[in-house]
Amino acid sequence: MKILNFIQNITESHYLIIAVAFFVGLLHPDSVLWASPYTTFILATVFFLSALKIDLKKVLRQLDDKLTLVIINIFMLFILPIIIYYLFGLFFPSLAIAFLILAAMPIGMTTPLLTEISGGRQSLALVLTVTTSLLAPLTVPFVVKLLAGASVEVDVLGMFTLLATVIYIPFFLAQFFKRFWQEKINKVSPLFKSLSTILLGILIMIIVAKQSEILIEGFNYLYIVLLFLFFIALHFIGYFMIPWRDKRDKITISVCVTYMNFTLAIEIANKFFNDPNIILPIVLSIIPWAIMIIPFRRIMMKKIS
């Protein structure tokens, strides 16, 4: 029993899992790359496990607060990219497009999991993930073209299909399972957090492995400093964006604003840009993305308690 508890504590420790995943992917990419075709399945599984814990009625009630949803979607997909692009254009013009792409991304697919471990509300995170992801195929190319002067070709149908695979199918499949096997799900649900954390680690390991050469050869401390400042600022902006919400909602919004879909950003950078000043910061964003959740979670859990 003690061994099982020890294993569960280790697998629930996202600190350890993320750190190990990052360094394994960085130092031993060849042992990981075989799993790269399965990233979509991994994301879908994490989302499925998160959705099993969510009551559909509670999710639908979140839709009643249209003001909050509209504010967050407009801010994330339009206002934030504009501010970031012009801010970096003034001080670091060579990095403006890289940070523009990061800022224009929808909420990450694993945000409901990160929201849970930080003490936020999964249901609100799920709704925001769905809405920003659904709008992103239209907003990302428009914002990048408008601000950077370059038209980014985005396969809207292909992206929608991917989003349906990763978000909608797991969500409605989970609701189907909950409808008929809720009691059995309740019995095994304590294992979901461990499994989701492991899958998140595997996902990070694969992404780092795919970009390991760029990460090692093009490492730049300026990129790291700016990225950490960027993520810290996003935490504050998200937390205080809607001051009339309670602490759990503020935590949720902060996580949603900060932890963007960096995998999509990496794919866009690799597909449409060759400039290392664009590709490297986006790839390196995985470092603050993986690390900043640790101090943020500690601070937020103290606030809740």
| Cα 290 from Cα 207, distance rounded (Å) | 12
**Residue 75 has what DSSP assignment?**
I
Position 290 confidence tier, pLDDT thresholds 50, 70, 90: confident
Q: Enter the tokens of residue 294.
A: 């640790």
Kindly provide the residue ranges of all beta strands, DSSP E only, lying in the chain, ordered along the sequence. none
* 292 contact partners, CB below 8 Å, separation of at least 6: 228, 231, 232, 235, 258
For 260, the 3-state DSSP assignment is strand
Residues 81-104 have pLDDT tens digits of 999 999 998 999 889 989 999 999
The enclosing H or E element of 2 equals helix 2-12
Range of the domain at 90: 34-190+216-304
| Cα 160 from Cα 231, distance rounded (Å) | 27
Residues 3-40 have pLDDT tens digits of 545 555 555 566 678 778 888 988 888 888 898 888 88
Indicate if the pLDDT at residue 112 is higher than 70.
yes
Is 185 part of any domain? yes
For 107, the 3-state DSSP assignment is strand
| Cα 287 from Cα 273, distance rounded (Å) | 21
Residues 263-279 have a mean pLDDT of 76
Indicate if the pLDDT at residue 48 is higher than 80.
yes
Is 152 part of any domain? yes
Give the total number of structural domains in the chain. Answer: 1
End-to-end CA distance of the chain: 29
pTM above 0.95, yes or no: no
Is 195 part of any domain? no
Is 272 part of any domain? yes
Is 237 part of any domain? yes
**pLDDT score, position 6:** 53
Q: Residue 258 in contact with residue 238, Cβ under 8 Å?
A: yes
**pLDDT score, position 259:** 94
Residues 170-217 have pLDDT tens digits of 888 988 888 888 778 888 777 787 888 888 788 888 888 887 887 787
| Cα 131 from Cα 73, distance rounded (Å) | 7
Whichever domain contains 267, its CATH number is 1.20.1530.20
